Structure 1
Amino acid sequence: MKPHTSLVLLRAGLVLGTVFLASCQLFKKKPPPPPPEPVKEQWKYPGEWTGGNKPITSIAINVDVQRAMLYSGDELVGWTYVASGIPSFPTPTGSFKILEKVKDKVSNLYGKGYDANGKLVNSDFKQGRDLLPPGGRFEAAKMTYFMRLTGDGVGMHIGPIPKPGRRASHGCIRLPSKMAPILFAHTSIGTPVTITGNGPDYQSYLKQSAEKAKANAAKYAAAKKKAEDAAAAAAAATALAPDDPNGPTGGNGNGTGKPAGTAPAPTNGTTPAPTPPPLGSPPGTPSSAPTEEVKPAVPANPAPAPGAAQ
């Protein structure tokens, strides 16, 4: 075979290989790209709804810009600001579905802590992490129009959005009060929700949550022990020694504060009877009680003196 013939065949093979690879790429199925976010001159809080009675068939949330896009099929039917988890309590990213819908749900973890007098002592109270003062109470945070996304409690619900465009929650996706009822009414169980942006995937999120739960348990145990030690110290500081005359036994076991064996004074106003001398004492031994001198009785009609007139 001539050299130029081999070169021609090599080039032909390269061309055929390129064509084959290109054809494979054409037939390879690719996931559809996420719909582009519409460009607006101004994203006015809290959002907008143009879907009428159409159902929301998918929700795309971007935690970097803190907005959720609402779709009915391929049609954008609304959008809303959101407030996802702060960096220390991030919202997981990935593909989720609405698992549960509860209109009047309250949190079983977060809320406010009050003391026995009703004074707010902790506005960010968490069960299992923080300790209430003696006699205090826990007031659960409201999670109205709750739409659950994960088994461990992440979901969408009404919540404060203090600075639109910034993260603010403990991991849930807060919704404005004017938009949450719309999402609740137009979604159903199973509606897909995609969360994108800077945040951990769900498996990393679960690992971080487990580590935080362990740290919270240790913090709670330490706070509980500290409170118990303080209560024991306070009780010890007010307790009286067994021989203290101010104690309930008077320091001698008879509750009088007097030497043991001393009879208590009567409380009915009577004079106590004299204490007889001990048995076997010699005659004339005085008793411990004071004695009264006995004088002869004076006759009622004394006899006349000798020589007196009759």
Structure 2
Amino acid sequence: MKSNLPLSLTRATLVIGAVLLASCQNFKKKPPAPPPEPVKAEWKYPGEWTGGDKAISHIRINVDTQRATLYHGDEVVGWTYVASGITSFPTPIGEFKILEKIKDKVSNLYGKGYDAGGKLVNSDFKQGRDVIPPGGKFVAAPMKYFMRLTGDGVGMHIGLISKPGRRASHGCIRLPSKMAPILYAHTAIGTPVTITGSGPDYKTYLAQSAAKAKANAAKYASAKKKLDDASAAATAATALAPDDPNGPGPKPATGTTPATPPGTPPAITPAPATTPIPAPAPVPASPPTEEVKPAVPATPAPKPGTVQ
């Protein structure tokens, strides 16, 4: 069938159709992801401070590169490696401010669990999720130079960064021990902190945290019941039967003791008789000293015929 359309209009229609087809094909394809930011030589761990006594007016943290850039106005005055939350405990993304500063803070959630003998039984102990063995103790994790960013506990503080460039925390932003005091000294309450990269926004983060709290409560209840059952079983295994000769003696039957009439003075239980202690035997007196008199000279025998 021959078209009655002008040749120019037919060609234009074909061109538009080709453009639309190409556009649809391009629309279906996802744009390529930007290449990761290369690690430069000057990014040697742990960081760098060039601001002297200048204040930090803004902090920008990228959780994909695990680095924070420090600004004084528009001037970059330093940078530092960080370690943000792992995938299962992500750091929220968005605009925040420093709400609180505590130099010697410790965590009220995370730490280490020890048994009654002082042996470490849980190096990643969390309150409300894990159970301390009977007689054991919880030692809170240190969070020195803490700078709070959210009301539920996300903040910046000194923390272990064993593999720079990788996520490592439970949601907080760990700082190297050499850089945390610098950030703490040069920031003020209200300093803006922008967190960018791959992670949930704060609203999504709160919903995820609520779900985890519910799961942790169920896990804690299960662990507590298991511990209580084990303790009860151990007690039952060591208990003696009522007729065991090694057990306590039989108890008197109840209801056999006559009631005491009102007004009767309480019976006085006599004190147990005491065995008299014999008096000590008298020490015999020393015999009197006998006086020795000098011998009397013997009287000479009388001579015969002499009257005495």
Q: TM-score, normalised by structure 2?
A: 0.68
For residues 180-208 of structure 1, what are the alpha-carbon distances to aligned partners after superposition, in whole Å with 9 as ceiling and x for unaligned? Answer: 00000000000000000000000000000
Please identify, of 166-175 and 238-247, the stretch whose mean Cα deviation from structure 2 is larger. 238-247
Distance in 2 between residues matched to 1:53 and 1:67, nearest whole Å:
22
Q: Tell me what 2:155 maps to.
A: 155
Q: What residue identity is the alignment partner of 1:56?
A: I
Give the Å deviation of 1:43. Answer: 1.4
Q: TM-score, normalised by structure 1?
A: 0.68
Three-state SS of the structure 2 residue aligned to 1:145 is strand
Q: Tell me what 2:174 maps to.
A: 174
Distance in 2 between residues matched to 1:79 and 1:162, nearest whole Å:
18
Distance in 2 between residues matched to 1:230 and 1:160, nearest whole Å:
36
For residues 251-295 of structure 1, what are the alpha-carbon distances to aligned partners after superposition, in whole Å with 9 as ceiling and x for unaligned? Answer: x558xxxxxxxxxxxxxxxxxxxxxxxxxxxxxxxxxxxxxxxxx
Task: Determine which structure has more spread, i.e. the larger CA radius of gyration.
Answer: 2
Q: Tell me what 2:141 maps to.
A: 141
Q: Tell me what 2:126 maps to.
A: 126
Which segments of 5 or more consecutive residues in structure 1 lack a partner in the other structure?
A: 1-36, 255-310
Three-state SS of the structure 2 residue aligned to 1:174 is strand
Give the Å deviation of 1:247. Answer: 1.5
Q: What residue identity is the alignment partner of 1:165?
A: G
Identity, % of aligned positions: 81
Q: Once superposed, what is the RMSD of the aligned Cα atoms?
A: 1.5
For residues 4-36 of structure 1, what are the alpha-carbon distances to aligned partners after superposition, in whole Å with 9 as ceiling and x for unaligned? Answer: xxxxxxxxxxxxxxxxxxxxxxxxxxxxxxxxx
Paired residue total: 216
Distance in 2 between residues matched to 1:38 and 1:56, nearest whole Å:
25
Give the Å deviation of 1:246. Answer: 2.3
For residues 85-114 of structure 1, what are the alpha-carbon distances to aligned partners after superposition, in whole Å with 9 as ceiling and x for unaligned? Answer: 000000000000000000000000000111
Give the Å deviation of 1:41. Answer: 3.6
- Change in Cα spacing, 1:38 to 1:228, as seen in structure 2 (3 Å) is closer
Q: Tell me what 1:219 maps to.
A: 219
Distance in 2 between residues matched to 1:88 and 1:147, nearest whole Å:
22
Q: Tell me what 1:233 maps to.
A: 233
Three-state SS of the structure 2 residue aligned to 1:217 is helix
Which segments of 5 or more consecutive residues in structure 2 lack a partner in the other structure?
A: 1-36, 253-308
Three-state SS of the structure 1 residue aligned to 2:43 is coil
